[in-house]
């Protein structure tokens, strides 16, 4: 392993030169197998690796994360996909290993946000996963190892310039972490929190049942927001994040963003969407953009004119009533918040997106009103006492 990585520049081209190194002078736990990772690539790689390895540890399932700008666009563990979701992810014919399943779920949750992402994978990359990665627009990947054929598939991506990193899974950093801002050093203990039984111990609602699937989804959502820029809220279902609201200044805006993304994720599975007739030659990314525009209610005439060119048959748009009828079928969603809810408005919005299980920090002066809202909607809510800000 090398002792440092040199990069052309930092966050922006005028911040040059840049490098990655250990303050103790020791070898890096990373090996570059292909390409030349950037400063932002490494920020995404190091954050996303922590997320997938902690999911692997917490749930004993292969895990994948799709990162953009130091927050996850998608996160998932290996829960098998049904035919409806396979179709929505354009994966009806693919052979899917457990790791490939986790990656497909992570990438498919919010494909617009995942465009040009960094990918982290908890397990050794197999051919099934490499073939899925090969067809997506992505900057690079980090994993603890690669099958020889899988590595060759990935090396051919982006004209041979796809960034491939291998991480030492045994590497553990020291207990303290340090960053420098404006010439001043800030030091704190690393955030070693991983959800366990104690995290779910304080159920504060009248309804108290927490099925294993809901607990799994709350773990996925919680670890996702642990590595999401705060304020943040995450929604999860069937082992994958379906909506992440990152970096908002108010809690309810986090919920609105996450829930809106979850709604779009579920609407993409509507029979009318799955039945869209695209014109021959339309690429995956163009299909994804066309579906997104199809589901928007405020598209301009110019946008619609360009949008119609994607289809062999121009489809009728879904009405607001048709969307609402379909969204009423979205149930059993898990929500995790990185801090407490100061008002009930977050639960009012979350319920419209099928949220049934909630974990939040608790400790607001209005906890009683928030609990009353959860009871009104028949939710199960845990006050964990754990705040998970990430900056």
pLDDT at residue 303, rounded to an integer: 80
Q: Lowest-confidence range among 147-161, 274-288, 334-348?
A: 274-288
SS3 at position 119: strand
Q: Which CATH superfamily is domain 190-266+329-383 in?
A: AICAR transformylase, duplication domain (3.40.140.20)
Q: Report the DSSP beta bridge partners of residue 65.
A: 75, 120
pLDDT at residue 306, rounded to an integer: 79
Q: Is 390 a catalytic residue?
A: no
SS3 at position 293: helix
Q: Could you tell me the sign of the dihedral formed by the alpha carbons of 222, 224, 225, 226, in that order? A: positive
The boundaries of every CATH 1.10.287.440 domain in the chain are: 271-317
- The tokens describing 199, both together, are 């995290």
DSSP letter string, 355-371: EEEEEE----TTHHHHH
The boundaries of every CATH 3.40.140.20 domain in the chain are: 4-167, 190-266+329-383
- Of these residues, 34, 68, 270, 310, which one is catalytic? 68
- Of these residues, 34, 41, 47, 231, which one is catalytic? 231
- Cβ-based burial of 346 (10 A; exposed 0-12, middle 13-18, buried ≥19): buried
Whether the pLDDT of residue 344 is over 90: the answer is: yes
Q: Is 391 a catalytic residue?
A: yes
Q: What is the average pLDDT across 154-173?
A: 95
- CB-based contact 36:7 (threshold 8 Å): yes
Q: Is 231 a catalytic residue?
A: yes
Arithmetic mean of pLDDT over the chain: 94
333-337 and 117-121 as β-strands: parallel, antiparallel, unpaired?
Answer: unpaired
How many residues are recorded in the chain?
391
Query: For the segment 47-98, what is each residue's pLDDT rounded down to a tens digit?
Result: 999 999 999 999 999 999 999 999 999 999 999 999 999 999 999 888 999 9
pLDDT at residue 3, rounded to an integer: 86
- Of these residues, 12, 14, 280, 391, which one is catalytic? 391
- CB-based contact 333:236 (threshold 8 Å): yes
Query: What's the pTM value of the predicted model, to 2 decimals?
Result: 0.96
If you search the block for the tokens 């491939």, which residue do you land on? 164
Whether the pLDDT of residue 293 is over 80: the answer is: yes
Element housing 139 (H / E): strand 138-143
Q: Lowest-confidence range among 2-11, 30-39, 243-252, 295-304?
A: 295-304
Separation of CA 142 from chain center = 15
Output the CATH code of domain 4-167.
3.40.140.20
With respect to CATH, is domain 271-317 assigned 1.10.287.440? Answer: yes
> Between 313 and 215, whose confidence is greater?
215
pLDDT at residue 252, rounded to an integer: 96
Q: Is 68 a catalytic residue?
A: yes
| Whole-number Cα distances in Å, 179 to 4, 121, 244 | 17, 26, 26
Q: DSSP letter at 3?
A: S
pLDDT at residue 188, rounded to an integer: 96
SS3 at position 87: helix
Whether the pLDDT of residue 304 is over 90: the answer is: no
- CB-based contact 214:356 (threshold 8 Å): yes
Count of helix runs (H) and strand runs (E) in the chain: 14, 15
pLDDT at residue 25, rounded to an integer: 87
Phi, psi of 288 (to 5 degrees): -60, -45
């Amino acid at each position: 392993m090398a002792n440092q990585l040199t990069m052309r520049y930092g966050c922006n081209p005028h911040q040059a030169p840049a490098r990655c190194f250990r303050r103790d002078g020791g070898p890096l736990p990373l090996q570059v197998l292909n390409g030349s990772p950037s400063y932002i690539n490494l920020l995404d790689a190091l954050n996303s690796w922590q997320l997938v390895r902690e999911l692997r540890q917490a749930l004993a399932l292969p895990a994948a994360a799709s990162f953009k700008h130091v927050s996850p666009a998608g996160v998932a563990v290996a829960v098998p996909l049904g035919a409806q979701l396979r179709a929505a992810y354009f994966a009806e014919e693919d052979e899917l290993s457990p790791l490939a399943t986790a990656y497909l779920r992570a990438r498919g949750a919010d494909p617009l946000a995942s465009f040009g992402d960094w990918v982290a994978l908890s397990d050794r990359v197999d051919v099934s996963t490499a073939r899925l990665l090969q067809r997506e627009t992505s900057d690079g990947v980090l994993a603890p190892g690669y099958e020889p054929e899988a590595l060759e598939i990935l090396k051919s991506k982006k004209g041979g310039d796809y960034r491939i990193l291998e991480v030492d899974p045994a590497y553990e950093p020291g207990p303290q972490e340090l960053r420098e801002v404006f010439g001043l050093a800030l030091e704190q203990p690393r955030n070693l929190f991983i959800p366990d039984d104690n995290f779910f111990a304080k159920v504060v609602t009248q309804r108290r049942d927490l099925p294993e699937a809901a607990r799994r989804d709350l773990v996925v959502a919680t670890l996702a927001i642990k590595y999401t820029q705060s304020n943040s809220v995450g929604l999860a279902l069937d082992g994958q994040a379906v909506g992440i609201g990152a970096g908002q200044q108010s809690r309810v805006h986090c919920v609105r963003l996450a829930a809106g993304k979850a709604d779009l994720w579920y609407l993409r599975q509507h029979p009318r969407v799955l039945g869209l007739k695209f014109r021959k030659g339309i690429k995956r990314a163009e299909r994804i953009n066309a579906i997104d525009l199809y589901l928007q209610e405020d598209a301009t005439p110019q946008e619609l004119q360009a949008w119609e060119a994607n289809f062999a048959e121009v489809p009728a748009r879904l009405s607001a009533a048709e969307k609402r009828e379909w969204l009423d079928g979205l149930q059993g969603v898990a929500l995790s918040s990185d801090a407490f809810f100061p008002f009930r408005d977050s639960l009012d919005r979350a319920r419209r997106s099928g949220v049934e299980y909630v974990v939040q920090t608790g400790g607001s002066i209005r906890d009683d009103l928030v609990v009353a809202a959860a009871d009104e909607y028949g939710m199960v809510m845990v006050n964990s006492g754990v705040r998970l800000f990430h900056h």
